[in-house]
Chain A
Amino acid sequence: MQDDALALFARAGVIVAESELNSRKLVINSTDGRYSFVLVKPGDVPTYVQYGVADAGVCGRDVLMESRADVHEPLDLKFGRCKIAVAGKREVLGEDYNLLATVRVGTKYPRIATDYFHAKGVPIEVIALTGSVELAPLLGLSDRIVDLVETGQTLKENGLEVIDVITESTARLIVNRASFHLKRIEVGALIAKLTEALNQ
């Protein structure tokens, strides 16, 4: 996602030198010195922006939904496209979750999973995982998983399939609510530049 984001920013005229990127610095500057970039883990992006430490950020809609951060989301940057889906072995349960009192769901997205199943009136037990989520149904740790699916190849190789797509996700530009007002000219200019780059 970082490479796609930097490529888009470069098209928008915000360029980061290769030497900066190759350094181990966590805060780097654009070549014109007008923008500073803070490199953080994807899941932390909404936090940095919500608290206003960064005025704006780039993160996936999946991360944003899961964090429920209170930020503006002015632009869909169109890259990083994937699905957040419910997957599992269809023969185990099909779509009739009512066969079980509680469905065990392995996921990196406890909130998205809970919202999805609860909206259907299905009680779930969330099994919070941080990686290799596909393992959970294979080893009987969970009945279903809720995870990002890009091509579905990993699922297929592990004998799993997508049961339902919860939502599509792409990268988003997010902006701190206060910065939106206090730096509205700068924020407005950035949005305009990125919009133009997206339309190219």
Chain B
Amino acid sequence: MSSLTKIPAGVQYFFDDEVKLRRHVERRAMEAFAGWSYDEIILPMFDYHDLFARGMGEEKAERTYRFVDRDGALLALRPELTSLVARTVATRFIKRERPVRLCYSGEVFRYDEPTERAAREFHQLGVEHIGEPDIVADIEALLVAAEVLTALGLGGFRIALSHVDFFNGVADFLKLDSGRRAQLRELIDCRNSLAVEEFLRTHAARVEESRRADFSRLIQIAGKQDVIGRAREILINERSRAAVDHLDKIYSTLTSLGLGENFDVDLGDAGGLEYYTGLTFKVYMPDCGAEIGGGGRYDNLIANFGEPEPAVGFSIALDGLVSAISLGPEAQRWQSANDARAISLNGDPARAFGQAREMRKQGKQVKISAK
């Protein structure tokens, strides 16, 4: 195969209506972010590999595209944007008033296993809210996410709320070592309630059987207020109870704002715990097989680059939003309307271009025709 026609795995080209739709989605999202006073930050395409390893963890940083600087330092194409924002805030924004609200729109690059989603460049839209430890920042982040989706006509979205301390509290209470923790987390992540019950029979023998069975069912299916109520009856340890209280406060506020239908409480989401320290959430859309975005609180990340600071943020995949819109009723609107006025040269370029310039001054679209 000719090396001129071959393309590297994972690269993407966009054209025609898809470009218009992507730009529209980006603009709408950035408008919503700006409306909540998030200032846009433009971040570098690459940075030291170490930065990302500290940010997202060694294991995930393994999936970056890496290369060396002239001085031999290891660089990486950015696999995510939060670490870059976090370092900027911890260093260059040190004297600014808190909270700092920043938003971004940009591609990230990750090498994924071939079986995973094929694209290796992704365009992310997101916000980071730094310096506010209170629950109000959590709620604000969720409302901003909800507004982006609603503004794009994606009212059918579902955001599943979870909290890392729900799992951590249980694991601590059962005094699980790191291997057993990972095992329980995996079983919960599979939503395999029978296997969880079996696991608890061995490792939580001192807890009464009915409570173990209830817990196994609790993690299986997400829900609304009912999940919070059941969790309160089942949980004994303080850490998990506090997590559930936190989710309750968030969910009640969202319900009172009329958003209850769009949010679920999901105590079976135990993934991504290394990075997050509190609320976590995932964004789902009908007919998109996987989540299209997510976020949460990460109060420990910024300490890697300076003083510890509380922070919460999220990102949504532009590609996810675009495919959700393409599947929805709004898709038709993105068939291109060709409003261009054709201007024929007719052997007199000066006249034709003069006419074209005149029309451009009026803001009209022109198309020069050589015929």
Contact = CB atoms under 8 A, between A and B. Distances in A.
A67 B113 CA distance: 11
A118 interface: no
B191 A52 contact: no
A181 B191 contact: no
A136 B266 CA distance: 48
Interface stretch (B96-104, B282-290, B332-340): B282-290
B290 A70 contact: yes
Contacts of B289: 50-53, 176-179
Contact of A184 (B192, B194, B222): B222
B264 interface: yes
A175 B113 CA distance: 21
Contact of A178 (B116, B194, B288): B288
A129 to B, nearest CB: 20
B124 interface: no
A68 interface: yes
Given A51-B289, A72-B190, A72-B191, A181 B284 contact: yes
Interface residues of A, number: 26
Contacts of A69: 115
A191 to B, nearest CB: 7
B267 interface: no
A73 B220 CA distance: 10
Contacts of B248: none
A51 B115 CA distance: 11
Contacts of A67: 115
A187 interface: yes
Size category, B interface: 20 to 34
Interface in B223-263: 223
B234 to A, nearest CB: 17
A69 B117 CA distance: 10
Contacts of B221: 180, 184, 187-188, 191
A52 B320 CA distance: 14
B193 interface: yes
B116 A70 contact: yes
A74 interface: yes
A180 B189 CA distance: 12
Contacts of A181: 158, 160, 222, 264, 266, 282, 284
A73 B190 contact: yes
A139 interface: no
Contacts of B190: 72-74
Given A52-B289, A182-B286, 8 more contacts: A67-B115, A76-B194, A180-B222, A181-B282, A181-B284, A184-B264, A188-B220, A191-B221
8 contacts: A52-B290, A72-B190, A76-B195, A179-B289, A182-B158, A182-B284, A188-B221, A191-B220
Interface of A: 50-53, 67-70, 72-76, 175-182, 184, 187-188, 191, 195
Interface of B: 113, 115-116, 158, 160, 189-195, 220-223, 264, 266, 282, 284-291
